Amino acid sequence: MRFLATAAAVSLAFSGAWLGVVEAKSVSGDRVLVLVPKVEAAKLYSQFLDSLTSRGFDISVRAATNTSVTLQVDGVRTYDHAVVLSPESKKLGANLSVRDFVSFVDDGGNLILTASSELSELGRKLAARFGVEYEKRGTAAIDHLAHLHAINDTSDHTLVAASPPKTAAPVLSKQFALPQSDPVYFKGIAHKYEPSNPMLIPVLTGSRTTYSAVIGSDANERAISLSGNALGLVSVFQTRNNARVAFSGSAALFSDALLSQEGSANKQFTADISQWVLQEKAVLRETAHRHYLASTGERPEHYRISNEIVYEIDLSVYHDDAWHPYNANDVQFEAIMLDPYIRATLNSTESTDPKTTATYHGDIKLPDRYGTFTFRVNYKRTGYSNVDVKDTVGIWPLRHDEYPRFLSAAYPYYISSLVMAVGFLALCAAWMWSAEPKTKRIAKQKSN
């Protein structure tokens, strides 16, 4: 009973002060589960949790050993988002397994997973399901040049000063794209990532002098398996159903100790990561799409081959707590029957609601092939949620009375037939009205 009272008190401490907030600014819900080693340990992350509460989230702080914690009940999510700040726990909640977390993400839940040098086997297996492979137990990211020593004269070279790569622009704020941005301090374990994986985005990597090794080992005997930009510190993953997952090799990254560190960008970095994962930014949606005949402006039950149509789609992007027009020059339309018969880039045009949507327009001539086609806009860009719009459309052949009277491709045959007819008539006229040769007339008279 005392434990439950403590859990309730901590939960109220992070939510009671914000009763005026009606709803979260996330497009996917406001229920957040936060798992910590012990409920009292939530105080170590008070700044991060307060920032979530101030953004309108309903936070439930639970101990990782609380057996009443579940992510789904009868196939229905009990939370919209989950944040795991207990990387060393061998068991989480009601004996939650890797399959439970994967099912939670498959159902649209968002997840922030933290790690440390003592990461449990559960955390390793779960990360591996998303293509993230953590280093061996007891290792840490180390940098003898870029570390916190430059500020407070300490000798802890495992407190690495890192900078996000430029490829993380949709996830992070514009300030991280500046050449002289403040570093992000990181203390934890590194991981491998596959650069060719389109769904995995490294948002914090090591510098040229950063490497991964066993903590406390002799510098001359360290076996270095990862180093440089190939050493991942924080990565994010977006599934095909637009659920989002973040992998941080440092739980301390979200702690008050590093968030309050002077000369660091940790506070802005963790805010950007949480906003992206909890779907408060870089969320794309299709608000409407339509296609119709260019000649009449009407959409028939089916089209005919070679019809000229108009295809339009409205796109919006969510950031700064509101929907805005999404501006791009690479939105493409496809007409597919097994393979794409048409792939055309849509052009931006005037929108009916320019404050929230951008309209893309294309004049399309349908293929000279009948069958069942799929009109599709499949838009996938790094850092943004996926937009996949499909319409199944029938394209019929022309009726016998809908073909043109004369085919332009047959003009050579028309001309050759006409020339042959004219030549034949000319030959007949020459034969019928030409005079008989004089020698033949004399021969006939002599014979008579």
| Structural contact between residues 82 and 109, judged by C-beta atoms closer than 8 angstroms | yes
How would you classify the pairing of strands 283-293 and 31-36? unpaired
Residues paired with 81 in a beta bridge: 32, 110
Band (174; pLDDT cuts 50, 70, 90): confident
Residue-level pLDDT at 161: 87
The CB density around residue 365, as the number of other CB atoms within 10 Å, is 13
Residue-level pLDDT at 155: 64
Q: CA-CA distances (angstroms) from residue 167 to 174, 204, 210, 230, 290?
A: 12, 10, 19, 14, 34
| Structural contact between residues 4 and 65, judged by C-beta atoms closer than 8 angstroms | no
Name residues whose C-beta falls within 8 Å of residue 94's C-beta, 6 or more positions apart in sequence: 67, 68, 69, 70
Across residues 392-401, what is the average pLDDT?
91
Give residue-wise pLDDT tens across range 432-442.
Answer: 887 666 666 66
Residues paired with 347 in a beta bridge: 361
| Structural contact between residues 188 and 117, judged by C-beta atoms closer than 8 angstroms | yes
Per DSSP, the residues of 322-333 read EEEE---S--EE
Which stretch, 11-15, 86-90, 193-197, 430-434, has highest mean pLDDT? 86-90
Give residue-wise pLDDT tens across range 375-385.
Answer: 999 999 999 99
Amino acid (one-letter) located at 44: L
Q: What's CA 228's distance to the chain center, in Å?
A: 26
Residue-level pLDDT at 8: 40
Give residue-wise pLDDT tens across range 109-146.
Answer: 999 999 999 999 999 999 999 999 999 998 989 888 87
Name residues whose C-beta falls within 8 Å of residue 41's C-beta, 6 or more positions apart in sequence: 85, 86
Longest dimension (CA), the chain: 148
Per DSSP, the residues of 33-50 read EEEESSGGGGGGGHHHHH
Give residue-wise pLDDT tens across range 247-267.
Answer: 999 999 999 999 988 888 999
Tokens of 303: 């089209």
Rg of the chain (C-alpha set): 35
Tokens of 333: 């339309």
pTM: 0.83
Q: CA-CA distances (angstroms) from residue 121 to 113, 116, 117, 118, 263?
A: 13, 12, 12, 9, 35
b/e sequence 384-400, b meaning 16+ C-beta within 10 Å: bbebeeeeebebeeeee
Which of 10-14, 334-338, 350-354, 427-431 is the least confident region? 10-14
Give residue-wise pLDDT tens across range 8-45.
Answer: 444 434 443 333 334 558 899 999 999 999 999 999 99
Amino acid (one-letter) located at 433: W
Across residues 158-175, what is the average pLDDT?
86
3-state DSSP call for residue 334? Answer: strand
Residue whose pair of structure tokens reads 């790094």 in the numeric block: 382
Residue 133 belongs to what H/E stretch? strand 133-134
